[in-house]
Amino acid sequence: MRVMILRDAEAVAAAGAQRLAEVVRRNPAPVLGLATGGTVGGVYQELIRLHREQGLSLAHARSFNLDEYLGLSADDPQSYHRFMFEQLFAHVDLPRGNWQVPDGMAMDPRAEGRRYEAAIEAAGGIDIQLLGIGRDGHIGFNEPGSSLASRTRVKALAEQTRRDNARFFGALERVPRLAITMGVGTILSARECLLLATGESKAVAIAAMVEGPVTALVPASALQLHPATTVILDPAAASGLKLAEYYRAAEEAEAELRMLQKEA
């Protein structure tokens, strides 16, 4: 894992957007894995800015979102469909038929999981997967205990996740108990992963994910086995890391290497 500790949440969002934009610019048919949540909202704002001010085009891109609540329709204000539309899709040139979010209203949610996996595969797989992290170490809605080989399927939400997300629903009882989510194995199949976290509330999960054992108790820890994962943090989210100084020094050394390569 590459760990980058940046000065604040704004810098984290900008760095995340920058990396996504690079993949979009370099790839003739990029496939993006997208995420929802407060942390990635800043990334989408920055992508919209790059689209408006620097001509970044998503017209040739496709995207697959990580997850959706079961029982919420695409136009429900709390659905991830709606989140994505309002925070990104309405403001950029990604064509309507090019983005997918799992269908929370599918008659047969298990079949929807299989359909979603097949659609990702038919698109050639995900080039870069954007991720946030839950306080309990979940990615997508892969709660603690998830199989590290899981594919898109139905998952029951953990109580802590329902409580954390209750702020969007107004009351805990309104938060769905089930979601459909890409599996940990689906996420590990992406060619590159980019996980962003900010704030002290994520510090324990980040330390467990980066420096703890690979365990189903912390589904994000499976990313230790992924060959190209970058974790971008603000100082508060990084505050539980034992090797923070090493990661900072490694970034400086990397910058030096890039300079040398440019000169050569």
Catalytic residue from among 46, 112, 127, 143: 143
d(CA 161, CA 176): 11
Interaction of residue 133 with ligand GLP, rule CB under 6 A: yes
**CB burial of residue 20 (10 Å; 0-12, 13-18, 19+):** buried
User: Can you tell me which of 17, 31, 58, 66 binds ligand GLP, judged by CB under 6 A?
Assistant: 66
**Nearest approach, Cβ of residue 24 and ligand GLP (Å):** 21
Q: CA 156 from chain center: how many Å?
A: 19
* DSSP H helical ranges for 27-78: 38-54
Q: Which range of residues in 131-139, 184-192, 204-212, 234-242 is near ligand GLP by CB under 6 A?
A: 131-139
Contact criterion met (CB below 8 Å) for 42 and 36: no
Phi and psi, residue 232, nearest 5°: -115, 125
Any catalytic annotation for residue 136? yes
Interaction of residue 16 with ligand GLP, rule CB under 6 A: no
| Cβ-based nearer residue to ligand GLP, 51 or 129 | 129
| Cβ-based nearer residue to ligand GLP, 38 or 124 | 38
Please give the size of the binding site for ligand GLP, defined by CB under 6 A.
14
Catalytic residue from among 81, 117, 127, 138: 138
User: Can you tell me which of 30, 42, 102, 134 binds ligand GLP, judged by CB under 6 A?
Assistant: 134
- Where would I find the beta strands (DSSP E) of the chain? 2-5, 31-34, 62-65, 67-69, 99-100, 128-131, 153-156, 178-181, 193-197, 229-233
Q: Which range of residues in 33-41, 53-61, 84-92, 223-231 is near ligand GLP by CB under 6 A?
A: 33-41
Phi and psi, residue 135, nearest 5°: -60, -25
d(CA 143, CA 263): 47
User: Can you tell me which of 38, 77, 145, 170 binds ligand GLP, judged by CB under 6 A?
Assistant: 38
Interaction of residue 144 with ligand GLP, rule CB under 6 A: no
Bridge partners, residue 154, by sequence: 180
| Cβ-based nearer residue to ligand GLP, 105 or 250 | 105
Interaction of residue 143 with ligand GLP, rule CB under 6 A: no
d(CA 57, CA 253): 33
Interaction of residue 36 with ligand GLP, rule CB under 6 A: yes
Any catalytic annotation for residue 51? no
Catalytic residue from among 68, 117, 136, 164: 136
| Interaction site with ligand GLP (CB under 6 A) | 35-39, 66-67, 132-134, 140-141, 161, 165
